[in-house]
Chains A and B, each alone.
Chain A
Amino acid sequence: MFLLSLCQWVDRTPLSAMLRQSNWAFPALDTVHTLGIVLVAGAIMLVDLRLLGLALRSVPITDLVARIVPATLGGFGLMLVTGGLLFASEAVKMYESPAFRIKVVLLALAGLNALIFHRTIYRDAARWGSAAVPAQARLAGLLSLALWIAIIAAGRAIAYGPGYDLG
């Protein structure tokens, strides 16, 4: 299996060994990753809630998106780096973790949802004004909200898999 061989190779790299042998690398990366996802998802959820008409109704959606989305993309980059290093420290374990696989699929779906939203319905957002948000945009917000909640849940669940001390 190609993915398994790839993960086995990752586990044999010096970087992976270095991360495993360090007492502080994993907890430090884990802490930055967790705090980062809370901040990134917290910001994205504000946009989702706005699309659903549940928060910040007086703020135009285009203003909110222009402010939040670029910042979340930066935060997301940090998530990819810390997440990638966490993965590299135990790649085969992640390969075998159902929660990790679910999280990767959910992340892809969240990215796809955001991409479709920005490439289609959002093009007309400037014209929504104070009028109601179109149903397709509300659906994108609802999907995003659900996906990010599930991503956080799946990410936390990785730590409950076999081989972890639940403390």
Chain B
Amino acid sequence: MAGWSLLPAFEWLQHTDLAETIRHSAALIATLEIVHLLGLTLLLGTIMMIDFTLLGWGIGRFPASKIAIELNGWTVAGLAIMLISGPLILISEAVKCYRSPAFWIKMTLLALAIAYHFTIHRKAVLAEPALRGNVKLAASVSLALWIAVALAGKGIAIFQSS
């Protein structure tokens, strides 16, 4: 890894006015973290509903595609809330994040989860119930990915290199 590092970029981020303002306000950090958690609630709540429907634990006769279409706005809203609050939290402690393995694991999982959600997962939702077995696998992967993202996020706070 010699000679090439993202560290200067993270140091620069942490020293922007916006990052300094956030870092020096306990109230701002607390608010951002709570908003981030509420975004996750919305995101996981809606995705869980869709995936449980795909797994056959849904509501009677309602197909996952219908549930997913009706919930899509809320899923996207939850994701948007997270993608706005997350980077603001990140820049306020950019160097700490840079040094946190949990942070990089989370970013990798997040990229995978988002890509998966809008491609393979979407196809599975629309294909249901034609491809029962594959659809259940697709739903399990979705749940596992998003929960792993959430756990890695918690890991950033737990595993801190002091």
Interface set of A (CB-CB < 8 Å, partner B):
27, 30-31, 34-35, 38-39, 41-43, 45-46, 49, 55-59, 63-64, 67, 149, 152-153, 156-157, 160, 166-167
Total interface residues on B, CB under 8 Å, equals 35
Cα distance, A46 to B78, chains bound together (Å): 13
A-binding segment of B10-18, B35-43, B115-123, B125-133: B35-43
Query: B74 to A41, Cβ gap below 8 A?
Result: no
Please report the C-alpha to C-alpha distance between residue A67 and residue B61 in the assembled complex, in whole angstroms.
Answer: 12
CA distance A103 to B41 in the complex (A): 17
Chain B residues 67-88 with CB under 8 Å of chain A are 67, 70-71, 73-74
Query: B66: nearest residue on chain A (CB-CB)?
Result: A58
Which single residue of chain A is at the shortest CB-CB distance from B71? A55
| Inter-chain contacts of A49 with B (CB < 8 A) | 74
B142 lies within 8 A of chain A by Cβ: no
Q: Which residues of B contact A41 (CB under 8 A)?
A: 41, 45
| B59 contacts chain A at the CB level, 8 A cutoff | yes
Q: How far is the CA of A31 from the CA of B150 in the complex (A)?
A: 9
| A122 to B132 Cα, complex, angstroms | 35
Whether A35 lies near B37 (C-beta < 8 A) is no
CB-based contact B70/A157 at 8 Å: no
Interface residues of B in 36-62 (CB under 8 A from A): 37-38, 40-46, 48-49, 57-60, 62
- Given the complex, which residues of A lie within 8 Å of B29, measured CB to CB? 166
Decide: A152 near B37, CB < 8 A? Known: A38-B44, A58-B66.
yes
Q: Chain A's nearest CB lies how many Å from the CB of B71?
A: 6
Contact pick for A39, options B30, B37, B45, B96, CB 8 Å: B45
Would you call B158 and A64 a contact (CB within 8 A)?
no
Interface membership of chain B positions 132-162, coded 1 if the CB is closer than 8 angstroms to chain A and 0 otherwise:
0000000000000001001100100110100
Q: Does B34 contact A (CB under 8 A)?
A: yes
Q: In the complex, A163→B40 CA distance in Å?
A: 27
Chain A's closest residue to B69 (CB) is: A58
Decide if A38 touches B158 in the complex (CB within 8 Å): no
B57 and chain A: residue at smallest CB distance: A67
Minimum distance in angstroms from B30 CB to a CB of chain A: 5
With contact pairs A55-B70, A55-B71, A58-B66 given, residues A45 and B42 touching in the complex (Cβ less than 8 Å): yes
Q: A67-B58, A149-B38, A156-B37 are in contact. Are A31 and B45 (CB under 8 A)?
A: no
Q: Would you mind naming 20 contact pairs between A and B with Cβ atoms under 8 Å apart?
A: A35-B150, A38-B40, A38-B41, A38-B150, A42-B43, A42-B45, A42-B48, A43-B45, A43-B49, A45-B45, A49-B74, A59-B62, A59-B67, A64-B59, A67-B57, A156-B34, A156-B37, A157-B30, A157-B34, A167-B160
